[in-house]
Structures are given as structure tokens and as C-alpha cells.
Chains A and B, each alone.
Chain A
Amino acid sequence: QKEVEQDPGPLSVPEGAIVSLNCTYSNSAFQYFMWYRQYSRKGPELLMYTYSSGNKEDGRFTAQVDKSSKYISLFIRDSQPSDSATYLCAMSGETSGSRLTFGEGTQLTVNP
């Protein structure tokens, strides 16, 4: 069983829709939760991170972590065609270093 589960999609929504992306995990040692965005033929780039449980907002993006349920979410409001990409969740049990466990990624298409 994978440590991090993420529905690969694909997910297709109309422009302006609210998008919800989710991951579940099994390792209770995970403390740091990140969302990466990967455009086609590019490397991933960090969108947001959250420490422990709670919400974090950055413009149209909101990240939520529920450690009791081992469930994290990324919401995209007023989605744009430029948001079309693969979104990967990533997690770590330590703050220092580069030890990350990624989800499979969800492919999102926002249609004009």
C-alpha cells in the first residue's frame, strides 16, 4: 500500500469553477504538507505548504490539512485555463532536508 494516495484523475472543469484536490496518507509521522504544480514537460514547482493541521490561503489557493483523518486538500477558486497542470501532494516528517514522499498527482484541465 502506498504511503500517500492521490486520485490521478483526469479532472476536467469549466473556467471559473472551484476545484478540490485531495490526498490521503497513512504515515502519522508526516508533519509538513506541500502542494506542487507540474506543467507538461516541466519539473514540479512548489505552490503551498502547511505545517500540521489547519488552513492556509494564498490568493485563489487554499490548502487544508486534517491530521486526525490523515487527509489534505487543495482548493482552487475561480479556476483559470492557466491552472491546467498536474497537482502533486508531498509530505515529510522532518523540517530539515529534502526527504519527501509524493502522491501520484492529479491531472487537471480547466476549459475556457
Chain B
Amino acid sequence: EAQVTQNPRYLITVTGKKLTVTCSQNMNHEYMSWYRQDPGLGLRQIYYSMNVEVTDKGDVPEGYKVSRKEKRNFPLILESPSPNQTSLYFCASNPDSVTDTQYFGPGTRLTVL
């Protein structure tokens, strides 16, 4: 089954404690993205990747890091989480064009205390 998986699905942590949210896709897609979704602000792109070792900033990259060492994986790293990073996070992948379906993961709800 074609899918994007994210782990963990739910996470409560404290300010400053480094964390990683994993994302993996099994569709051999070139492109992968991370979004955060907040009430009143909608879905905003954090980082995206065009291929292995190629990443670029989205609209809200501050406080986040990503890496793309393998085509299937695109982890999101919060080196020093802060309460304003409390949000619902989605990973997505798509084959090539922006008009292709972006396959979204199930989401990770992060709370930073």
C-alpha cells in the first residue's frame, strides 16, 4: 500500500529537549515536504526536499532542521523546541509536479511545555 508514515503520532515534551519526527514514504517519490497546521494560520510549509541531499526552506523554517540522506526518509529535527512550536505536523511526498497528488502522512501532534 502506497503511504507516508510518521512517528510518533503524539508527543509531549519540554522546552529545549531535542526531538526528531520521522517520515518515510514507500512510493519512490522525488519530493518531500514538512508542514505545520495551526488554527487561524492554516497549513504552512516548513521545509521541502527535491531529492537526496537537496533541501530548501519553506515559509516557516526557523527553529527546524531537516535532512534527506535517503530518498524514502525525511526527518524533521527540532534542536531546541519552544512552546510556539506546539502544532500539528504533516509530512508529504509527491512524484514531480505540484499538481500531482501530494500524499500526506497521518500527522504528528506535538506539544511543547
Contacts and interface: CB of A to CB of B under 8 A. Distances in A.
Please report whether the interface of chain B is mostly helix, strand, loop or mixed according to DSSP: strand
Interface of A: 6, 8, 32, 34, 41-46, 49, 51, 88, 90, 92, 94-105
Given A46-B101, A92-B98, A98 B92 contact: yes
Contacts of A103: 42
Instruction: Give me the 4 closest cross-chain CB pairs, A-B, nearest first.
Output: A43-B104, A104-B42, A98-B31, A102-B43
B45 A45 contact: no
A64 B106 CA distance: 29
Contacts of B100: 46
Given A42-B106, A43-B90, A43-B107, A98 B98 contact: yes
Nearest to A104: B42
Contact of A102 (B44, B94, B96, B105): B44
A99 B104 contact: no
Given A6-B42, A43-B105, A102-B43, 17 more contacts: A8-B40, A34-B99, A41-B107, A42-B107, A43-B4, A43-B90, A44-B90, A46-B102, A98-B32, A99-B48, A99-B58, A99-B98, A100-B45, A100-B98, A101-B45, A101-B59, A102-B35
